[in-house]
Amino acid sequence: MLISAALFRCRFGHLATGLLGLAATACTAPRAITTSGKVTPQGEFRVAYNQGFNIGTAPLSKAGAAVRDAASGLGNQAGRGDSVRYSGAVTNVQAAALAYLLDPVQPTADLSLRYGAAPRVDVGYKYAFGSHVFDAQYQFLGPIGSVENPGRGAAGGTTYASVGLQYAIQRAALPSLPFLNDLNNLLGLTASRQDVLIPLTFSQSLGPEESIGAISYGAVYAHSWVKYGFVPSALYNRAGTALLPALPSQSRNFSSFGLFANLKIGYKYAYIVPALALYYQNFGNYTLLDGSTTALSGVTIIPSLGVQIRIPTR
């Protein structure tokens, strides 16, 4: 079983700020799967760092050049204190903001520590530069030995399998992206989100008890609950005769389906872990300030590269 909890607020940065800048931009619960089907052996520690990139097609499709230009113009207008009338451009900007909130295009990073708590269960802590994650994983197939003390039947090519459950909770605001600057004051978008993630992982050992590494693959089911609302400022109706009222908190939920693969390669104590995860989600319909709705769906691609250090204690 894999359980994680995350409570955070975050902002986007620029790629050019370097590794720490990349890490600091992470504002989604980690969805890259870098573990294998074999849990951490009892009494053993594993330390890992993972750097990835969340690529959501929903925000990319909703935030084309015309929308970015409109967002910049509305933001400048609001920043000067001018009133803004509701228009199609405001509708498009709201849709883009919601898409980025649900599935951002951004770098991600995390540091983690795992410990083998029982013969088939490990537990861990992960800091995702804004998210605090606690997790555990249950292994239901394969030997339970270690590199120093291989289990019965352990050999190169041995199959392992595990299952998990991840829970995450987030609070977020409109991302601080260049083309959305100053729109926080105009739109007043607020949101919270809870996610349950269930990964099923299979792996083939490279060397006895993954002494050289492992090839891992599997499927993920996730379900998310989102609450959001708009509290606009200086935003008038289309006629310009009255301020638009706030949009009360709205609740939505949706499912995600994913596939993933990763490769752990190294020797005994240190490993490199490239990974790739692919998710599809239909986010559903979201109500906007004028009462209309926007439909959001898309694919998320998460490539990542990590380093894992094994620390045996016996």
Residues making up the chain, counted from first to last: 314
166-189 per-residue burial string, b: 16 or more CB within 10 A, e: under 16: bbbbbebbbbebebbeebbebbbb
Residue 74 is inside which H or E element, if any?
A: helix 65-79
The pair of structure tokens assigned to 256 is 């995600």
pLDDT value at residue 28 = 66
Rounded to the nearest 10 degrees, what angle do helices 65-79 and 88-102 cross at? 100
**Strand, helix or coil for residue 146:** coil
Name the phi and psi angles at 64, rounded to 5.
-75, 180
- CA 14 from chain centre, in angstroms, equals 18
pLDDT value at residue 176 = 66
Side chain identity at residue 38, one-letter code: K
The pair of structure tokens assigned to 221 is 């089911």
pLDDT value at residue 12 = 31
Cβ neighbours around 84 below 10 Å, total: 22
CA trace torsion 125, 126, 129, 131 (10° rounding): -80
pLDDT value at residue 43 = 93
Query: Please, which residues bridge with residue 261 across strands?
Result: 217, 276
DSSP 41: P
Distance, in Å, from the CA atom of 72 to the CA atom of 176, rounded to the nearest integer, reads 12
Name the phi and psi angles at 136, rounded to 5.
-145, 160
CATH of domain 15-56+101-176+185-311: 2.40.128
Distance, in Å, from the CA atom of 111 to the CA atom of 251, rounded to the nearest integer, reads 32
Q: Check the CA dihedral 140-142-144-146 and report its sign.
A: negative
pLDDT value at residue 6 = 39
* Mean pLDDT of each 10-residue bin along the chain, 314 residues long: 40 35 52 94 95 92 82 77 85 89 87 94 85 88 91 87 87 66 76 90 95 97 93 85 90 96 96 98 94 94 97 82
pLDDT value at residue 16 = 32
pLDDT value at residue 66 = 73
